[in-house]
Amino acid sequence: MIQISPHAEAALTCTLDERSLYLRRLVLASVRSAGRGHVGPALSLIEMVRVLYDDVLRIDPNNPRDPARDRAILSKGHGCLALYALLADRGFFPLSELDGFCGPDSILGGHPEYGMVPGVEASTGALGHGLSIGVGLALAARMRERTYRTFVLLGDGEINEGSVWEAAMGAAKHGLDNLVALIDYNKLQSYGPTDYVLPLEPLADKWRSFGFAVQELNGHDVGALRAVLKQVPAVPGKPTAIICHTVKGKGLPVAESNADWHHKNKLTDSELDAIRVAVGDF
Amino acid sequence: MRNTAMNMVHKLATRDERVLYIGSDPGAGTLRAMSKEFPKRHLIEGISEAHIIGMSAGLAMEGFVPYVNTIATFLTRRCYEQVAVDLCLHNLPVRLIANGGGLVYAPLGPTHQAIEDIAIMRALPNMTVVCPCDADEAARLMEQTLDWTGPIYIRLGKGGDAVVSRAEHGFEIGKAILMRPPGDVVMITTGIMLQRALAAADLLAAQGIRAGILHMHTVKPLDTEALLQAIRGTRLVATLEEHVPSGGLGSAVAEALIDKLGSGLPAMLRLSLPDRFMHNYGSQDSLLKKHGLSADAIATSIERALTASHTSYPQLHST
């Protein structure tokens, strides 16, 4: 019997502050406009992306290609609504763009594209690519003696892909302590529970055995995320893996831990009412 | 050809600090001199092609020009999605140096024979596909790879292939080389089929048949202008390739002719490997011969096709 992490339990009961609710309203307004979107995977990510973009990344929305910037790659590209909300809120592009999500002339597609969306470092959507790209970025920083850091956000279902573990070996080989992998461990992939589809446990031990310094936390605890992300590398000479225990659909009771909300088409009136009750009017 | 291409990576690295060599698990001592001179730019990353392509993309995003090298089948089939998304979608200057294009690894069986690589690589937007014919041409090609925009797939032959390319022809990625003036037939070749075409042309000449040769070292982008020029006045266009019939040089030439000529198409003969995996071993030469791609067999096929075209097709007129 696998022990349930106390962080996972904390993630379930963790309350959200006004900024987290506001970001959820942005996400859900995009879904309402487009009539589609990966709701669950975005809502589990929000605090991870929020803390990165609010408190950790050295970035300038007015100069998104600044060579000195920290790099962040959303490897689980289907969680892009969370990223778009943060990028818009931080001024990389106007908030009004969020209304056009998935529209014919929008810069915001169902997966993020480099060159289309200011602030997006790499086109993702096909899973299992981001960590390898991150290894390349981090290795380039090492070779060029630059101080930027590289953060890669991965889904738990995504790490079914063998290429992720190839990348993990590569990161450890090079001792890339300027590379951080954040795993959105919401324990529910498209079909159902990760434990059913392809069990990942013991997940922390896996990353540790691949040569990473591993941290585990409640991925909705903004304070804990800040504390851990401000202390990277966790161990000098090692890449860092932060296993963020989260809840898919967090903050929206009707969607929480509900595989039917992985990708949502059209929101019904009763669902819109439920969203208003959960996150406020939007 | 392979040693030359490898040594060129070292040479380019001495000139340009952006150049990296990235091997998966190549033969012992590959680019040893470079590994000693530039240890940080000589990377051996393990049998993890999907990861290596992604990592190379990341390095290229930061201004490096990675030369990734392994066996052709592993550099194409294994990591196709990474090549498509990480390299082509981002249009990054990563060079894929594919050892053993075609039937070079004949004795090692179908897992090592890259017989559909041209098709799958040229299907990708932004990808350039080049198949040099010999070591000298490989060297001229490599000189041009430093500043070419976007990814390049470089299909290498075995090594020790007879040197038939000539310095005076020069070399430019995307520009075909007319090796013999067009006559009754023009053969369009890529890679090491050029050597076979030259020998076949001599055999045909002995029969009184004038055979031209257009060497299409770059299959993508295809030099359509040179192609249209070369087929003027000929009775037959014959494509020669060490590749399955789908999607390779013959397909590229046929597509270009259809797009440019519409209804006035020339008689065409596509000589290729069959649409099946090779279950025979032996050597590259023996397999080429078995499938009608020796000089003798090429000459015979062309002779037959010319006879057939004489009765079935009107002669092409100059346009």
Q: Give CA–CA dist A252/A201, Å, rounded.
A: 27
Mean pLDDT, residues A167-196: 97
Q: Provide the mean pLDDT of chain A.
A: 96
Q: How far is B129 from chain A (nearest CA, A)?
A: 23
Say if residues B102 and B131 touch (Cβ distance below 8 Å): no
- Tell me how far apart the alpha carbons of residues B185 and B204 are, in angstroms, rounded to a whole number: 10
Residue A70 pLDDT > 70, yes or no?
yes
User: Contact B86/A129, CB-based, under 8 Å?
Assistant: yes
Residue A152: closest CA among A175, A132, A176? A132
Name beta bridge partners: B98: B70, B155
Alpha helices in chain B (DSSP H): 2-15, 32-37, 49-61, 72-76, 80-82, 117-122, 135-143, 193-206, 224-230, 249-261, 284-290, 295-312
Choose from B25, B51, B52 for mutation: most chain A CBs within 10 A.
B51
Q: Position B65: which residue type?
A: V
For A141, nearest residue in chain B (alpha carbons) = B62
Q: Which residue of A has its CA nearest to B78?
A: A163
Q: Do A139 and B60 touch (CB under 8 A)?
A: no
Is the pLDDT score of A9 beyond 60?
yes
Taking residues B34-44, what's their average pLDDT? 98
Strand partners, A218: A245
Q: In what order do the strands lie in the sheet with B177-180?
A: B177-180, B211-215, B185-189, B236-240, B268-271
Report the C-alpha gap between A240 and B92 in whole angstroms: 27
Percent share of chain B, pLDDT over 70: 97
Average pLDDT of B6-24? 97
The pLDDT assigned to B308 comes to 85
Whole-number pLDDT of residue A25: 98
With a cut of 50, say whether residue A157 has pLDDT above it: yes
Contact across the interface for A166 and B60, Cβ inside 8 Å: no
pLDDT band at B317 (very low <50, low <70, confident <90, very high): very low
Chain A residues in contact with chain B using a Cβ-Cβ cutoff of 8 Å: 114-115, 121-123, 125-126, 128-141, 143-144, 162-163, 166-167, 169-170, 173
Whether pLDDT at B93 is above 50: yes
Res. B312: pLDDT tops 70: no
pLDDT tier at B311, thresholds 50, 70, 90: low
Cβ separation A133–B54 shorter than 8 A = yes
Asked if residue B318 has pLDDT above 50, the reply is no
pTM: 0.96
Please state, rounded to an integer, the average pLDDT across all residues of chain B. Answer: 95
- Distance, in Å, from the CA atom of B83 to the CA atom of B64, rounded to the nearest integer, reads 17
Question: What is the per-residue pLDDT for B316?
Answer: 47
Contact: A114, B90; criterion CB under 8 Å: yes
HSE (CB half, 13 Å, CA atoms) of B80?
Answer: 13
Residue B313: pLDDT above 60? no
Give the single-character DSSP code of A53. I
